[in-house]
Amino acid sequence: MPDAPRTTPWIVAVAVTFNRRHLVTRLVTETGRGTVLPDEILVVDNASTDDTVEALRALGSPVPLTVVELGRNTGGAGGFHAGLAAALERGADLVWMMDDDGTPASDCLGLLLPHMADHDFVGPAVVAEQDESRLCFPIRLPGRSRVVHKMTDVEAAAVDGLVAGVVIPFNGVLLTRDLVERIGLVREEFFIWGDDVEYLWRARRAGARIATVSAARFRHPATDDLGTPLMFGRTTYNHSPSDLKHYCMCRNNVANLREYVGVHGVLAFLAKTLWFYTFTRPNPGRLRMSLGAMAAGWRGDFTGHGRYLLA
């Protein structure tokens, strides 16, 4: 925490973890190897039941490390809610937010920082750690009707090294204190999935200056199910084998679409879900779950995921 006037911004890196000792200690270690370092790393632990907290406290790091222990598992959304609040309390001018299962390239922070003078919310390209020529999460570039999967597409779309208006939130993104104070904290009731998108859309609505820095990289494990093509490749669907993740995805997507896009956005997502579990991967049981979760999202009921925590 800064205790004297500074001429450079105070940067706090925030990560959230739950029972992933190996991954979060890897993240902290890699973050500490950067060519430009944050001033502090703050890890929010979601009441892990393994030795995550002990391993973090025993970890040597060139960057001061603080572990915030929550009394219960609040999911990624609750963890980032608490982490953002703690970072601001500790005097952060910039907050560097990242998933615990990814790692920033050594020059990631150094490539993001020069753009913070005229941006509020910037991030790196999020690449598959198994193949850094591919994006971990497919994205739709400005002015494009199809999603893209390759880094070459992102690089070709960049202007002066930036893809304006596009970012993959909470994967190495850098936020200004001013933006967080203007739009508030992450919606903790989302638990997991969609809280990052909601935060990005809220920032856009508030007029935030957003961009991806095409030269910066954040590595994240890719899965075959995220961004599964459907409707003859014209769009994708985020299928997950986890009932908890899928329930939250459907519920939170509907809540986001209703708030920021409108009824037509909800209907489009409904059509994709019906198509996916009827034609792409027929599964009547998963379809019934999806429809129940979507109804909860429409009502604003964020309690239903608890049944899957106990499963």
Q: From first to last of the 311 residues of the chain, give the pLDDT tens digit.
A: 666 566 799 999 999 999 999 999 999 999 999 999 999 999 999 999 999 999 999 998 899 999 999 999 999 999 999 999 999 999 999 999 999 999 999 999 999 999 999 999 999 999 999 999 999 988 888 877 777 889 999 999 999 999 999 999 999 999 999 999 999 999 999 999 999 999 999 999 999 999 999 999 999 998 655 666 666 656 778 888 999 999 999 999 999 999 999 999 999 999 999 999 999 899 999 999 999 999 999 999 999 999 998 76
Give the per-residue pLDDT at 237: 84
**What was the pLDDT predicted at 236?**
74
Sorted by sequence, the CB contacts under 8 Å of residue 159 that are 6+ apart come out as none
Rounded Cα distance between 201 and 147, Å, is 18
For residue 5, the model assigns a pLDDT of 62
The CA–CA distances, whole Å, from 281 to 270, 274, 284, 292 equal 15, 10, 10, 18
pLDDT confidence of residue 229: 66
Give the per-residue pLDDT at 233: 57
Q: Torsions phi, psi of 263, nearest 5?
A: -60, -35
Cα dihedral 129/134/138/144 (nearest 10) = 150
Q: Which long-range contacts (CB under 8 A, 24 or more apart) does 196-204 make?
A: 196/80, 196/169, 196/170, 197/169, 197/256, 198/252, 198/255, 198/256, 198/259, 198/260, 199/169, 199/170, 200/121, 200/167, 200/169, 201/256, 201/259, 201/260, 202/260, 203/120, 203/121, 203/179, 204/165
- Tokens for 78? 């609750």
Q: In angstroms, how far is CA 289 from the centroid of its own chain? A: 24
The model's pTM is: 0.94
What are the structure tokens assigned to 21, written together? 């000792």
